[in-house]
Structure 1
Amino acid sequence: MEYEALQGVIWTKGTFWVTVAVLIFLAFFGGKIIRAIIGMLDQRSNAIQHALDEAARLRTEAEAMLRDAEARRAAAIEQAKDMLDLAAREAERLAAELLADAQAAARRREKMAQERIAAAEAAAVTEVRNAAVSLAVKVTQTVLAETVDAAHDETLIDQAISDLPRTLRKQAA
């Protein structure tokens, strides 16, 4: 099968005139079409360049934010270390204070116990003295009842009465 447009005189065929019409159309409007296509491509290129510039700016900002975040992180870590050191020192101080308080409390309790022991000793001595005095009084009563009679009693009373002014002067002085 052969293509008919290539047979015979070429300008008598419709294909020839379509080709001529397309070439005339392109001669008149081709520059405008090419300029429009180039303009669209330039706009697209500008948009891409703008997007690249924006991406570069955002990347720079992100890197700055990363550096800032790393600096804040390092500062926070340092602050946490300082806080831990401070807490350790405070714990040591508190432990020493509690130990001193406990030792002071133990000394106070020991002193109170010694005071109680001394009071108990004094009470025991007083009780023993009272018992001895009571026993001495009973023995004296018994001895006097057995040895002193009514006549001797009168002599002792008279002697005590005569010594009374002298004894009172001694006590007053």
Structure 2
Amino acid sequence: MGNATTIPETTEQMPEVFSTQEAMIEVSDEHGAATHAEPELLGLVPFQWVSIAMAVLLLIAFAGAKVHKSITGGLDAKIKAIRDNLDEAKQLRAEAEGLREKYAAKIAGAEKDAEAMLDNARREADGIVAKAEEDTAAMIARRERMAQDKIAAAERQALADLRAKAADASTAASAQLIRAKHNAAADKALADEVIAGL
């Protein structure tokens, strides 16, 4: 029934998997029972092939594990190098941001200093302009006084010259009048009078 398999009596109807002559030979064991010989390939029976396959599989597994370890080790080294690079990049970025803030503060300070210097320069320029205006006004006043003094001196000189000319003219006119009205006797009497007054 059910699970029983029937073995065909002729071998021509079976597909040949390992068709060897030895597989068809019936061998009797110690008790006289007939057994079939195991099929062989290259002189090895199936359990030997299974053992070899297991050994090859284990070798592949061990080699794969070593390769896996070397690959994992290489990947770990790469990951560590990348992490180190990232840490270094973070550190460099922090330093760059610190430098940027430092220079931004310096620039802000420089701008404040420049504004203060500009204010000082404006105040100094205003002071210089005011002083120049005062000096110019004082110089103009001095020049006006000098011009007035020169004009007054010229007027005095002109008056003195005029008086001297007037005195010379009156002296000359007096001399002419005296000559015309006085003679030598009148001159002698006048001179005696002046001498007596001294």
Normalising by structure 1, what TM-score?
A: 0.81
Confirm whether residue 99 of structure 1 aligns to residue 108 of structure 2: no
Please state how far the C-alpha of 1:27 moved relative to its aligned partner: 3.4
1:45 to 56, 74, 79: 79
Which residue of 2 is the match for residue 8 of structure 1?
17
- CA distance, structure 2, for counterparts of residue 79 and residue 24 of structure 1: 80
Which residue of 1 is the match for residue 114 of structure 2?
80
Worse-superposed segment, 110-119 or 35-44 = 35-44
List structure 1 runs of 4+ shifted beyond 6 angstroms.
none
Please state how far the C-alpha of 1:31 moved relative to its aligned partner: 2.3
1:129-170 per-residue CA deviation (whole Å, 9 max, x = no partner) reads 011101111111111111111221221111112112xxxxxx
Which residue of 1 is the match for residue 163 of structure 2?
129
1:73-97 per-residue CA deviation (whole Å, 9 max, x = no partner) reads 1111111101110100000000011
Confirm whether residue 157 of structure 1 aligns to residue 156 of structure 2: no
Which residue of 2 is the match for residue 144 of structure 1?
178
- CA distance, structure 1, for counterparts of residue 182 and residue 141 of structure 2: 59
2:124 to 83, 90, 97: 90
- CA distance, structure 2, for counterparts of residue 22 and residue 37 of structure 1: 21
1:155 partner amino acid: A
- Higher RCO, 1 vs 2 (CA within 8 Å, ≥6 residues apart): 2
- CA distance, structure 2, for counterparts of residue 124 and residue 113 of structure 1: 16
Higher-Rg member (1/2): 2
Normalising by structure 2, what TM-score?
A: 0.71
Please state how far the C-alpha of 1:23 moved relative to its aligned partner: 1.9
1:67 to 91, 101, 104: 101
Please state how far the C-alpha of 1:22 moved relative to its aligned partner: 4.5
1:101 partner amino acid: D
Structure 1: state its 5+ residue gaps: 1-6, 165-173
Identity value in percent: 37
Taking the TM superposition and a 5 Å limit, the aligned residue runs for 1:18-57 are: 20=53, 22-57=56-91
- CA distance, structure 2, for counterparts of residue 12 and residue 89 of structure 1: 113
The two structures, once aligned, show a CA RMSD in angstroms of: 2.3
- CA distance, structure 1, for counterparts of residue 130 and residue 65 of structure 2: 95
Worse-superposed segment, 79-88 or 25-34 = 25-34
Confirm whether residue 108 of structure 1 aligns to residue 159 of structure 2: no
The count of residues paired between Structure 1 and Structure 2 equals 155
